[in-house]
Structure 1
Amino acid sequence: MVTKRKLQQVSYTFVLPAVLLYVVFFIYPSIQSFYYALTDWNGISPDYHIVGMDNFIHLWSESRFLASFKNTFIYAIGLTLGQSILGLVFALLLQIKMKGQSLFRSIFFSPQIMSLLAIGYIWSYIYDPGIGSLNMILNELGLSSLALNWLGDMDLAIWSIVFVSIWQGAGWCMVIYLANLQSIPQDLYEAASIDGAGTLKRFRHVTFPLLAPAITITLVTGTIVGLKAFDLIMSMTHGGPGYVTESISTVMYDTAFNKSLFGEAQAMGIVMFIIIFIITILQLTFLKKREVDV
């Protein structure tokens, strides 16, 4: 007879490989990162010195690093709200019974499965002021005044990248909202209709409150992805023009691989981790409370 203890031992045996991989490829490198952040290591030489908190202190006097904070938060907020709202719109539209529903779901979701680097390069050509299809279309429509240097204008560049990120991520949010919408009992809508509630009132008092779990997922994950922004920025602008589209991740990359200041780059990574951790905890605390209240 198989005892409960033997079952537990077998279970641990199956889990052990995954735990070992997690320790080797995540826990150990994370501990190393904290250690190297306290050194002046250049990433190559075996010789380095412990500098304590100097790397962290130096960050706050770096105007480029401080500017990347602003850009990162603009990107994260724009991406999170934009893809969440657009994804919800797509989901609500696809709830309507119509022909080609599956096709539209595939079309809306397809950008999500593409490589971010590939998307960045494609949209760089679309945005190109000379040969880009966007300006060509605007010119053909007689809207030449709207044909701009989308990635070369210091005021437009970051928003142009945000638009692409929203376009890429909205399909994922749509899937999350669709799953949540399909779990809402139809009885609630029928009861609201009997009480005389129109479409907008049914959305406000029935649909939106019960979408709390999906809203939590899309906002939290969107914020994390936005704060780690790297691929689209590197492939579309490399942080330019000037430094107006640089994120914390791109500055960290440049500091490590172009300036060979790995210790300082590790310090940036730790600061970014702390920021993401704090914001995520605050979001989960507020949004989970809303789920309970609903």
Structure 2
Amino acid sequence: MALRFRPPGRAEPQNALHETLQDMPWSNSSIDTYLRSRGFDRELHEGRWPQLEIVVHHHEEEFGHTWYRLDCAISFPGAERYVWHTSKRLVHFRERLHDRVKEELSPEDYARHFAAAPFARAGGLLGTTKRLDAWCVQLARSASEDELPRQLLVLVLCFIDAPRYIAGALPFCMDRSLERLAHRIEDKEWFVRYTAVQAVAQIADTGDPRVTSALIDMLADKEAHVRSAAVESLSEVAFKYDRAVHKTLGSCLEDANPLLREAAAQALALVTDCGDEYVCLLLEAHLDDPDFAVKRAVREPGEP
């Protein structure tokens, strides 16, 4: 069974965030947290390693540029296969992936991995899609065989906009996973906390109260990215909220960060379908929010 993710799109913030993450310095704890949140941890799967697929099928012209579509997947033997797609320009491939892979690997290691799959030539010449496909297939094969340095694997997963895989990766080891994530949520690095929130969110629909409690705690995080991720994660299980969660989200509507207010409004808007008058009153109080995105989220309930 394949679970499909909504593609991040070329102009959405998630792509910009992935580019930011590629450029930031990575500590060992950040690397560990990110890889675990995507399921790349042998301890989570009885010694097994995820299988990564990256295929470049075709390209399309948009906004005066050529975009190459990547069809990607992560899977484990006997588990669900997660598939998604994203699109990148040739300059993205070259500067943000190929050149950095080449920098991270020694000349000997690069030749060992890619001797039979030369990278695409500059200028988008005939055969570019085929060359990109062969190179990406080999890159995914090397990742699947656990032959890439950990930081390089993070770079690859960021580039392809890898979704949070933990929902399929952890159902058989919930307790151990929550214990691992608990101390990450208190880490001093905002990105470690951010990926921990994403990881917790992927198991939110299990109904475990520890998950919801952890997400609520992160609503007060000092970093806007972390707070927004917590609110967005809570919105995914909106129909399971109780009044305490509604009140907490309502307080987020007063936050100075418009991204957080928008996410809180979207989360609460999802609950209006169940006829909760308290939630409706919370939203009505913010119909004139100064931020257009927040105002739209309040006025268009159920359409995050």
Q: TM-score, normalised by structure 1?
A: 0.21
* Larger Rg belongs to: 1
Relative to total residues, which structure has the larger helix share, 1 or 2?
A: 1
Relative to total residues, which structure has the larger strand share, 1 or 2?
A: 2
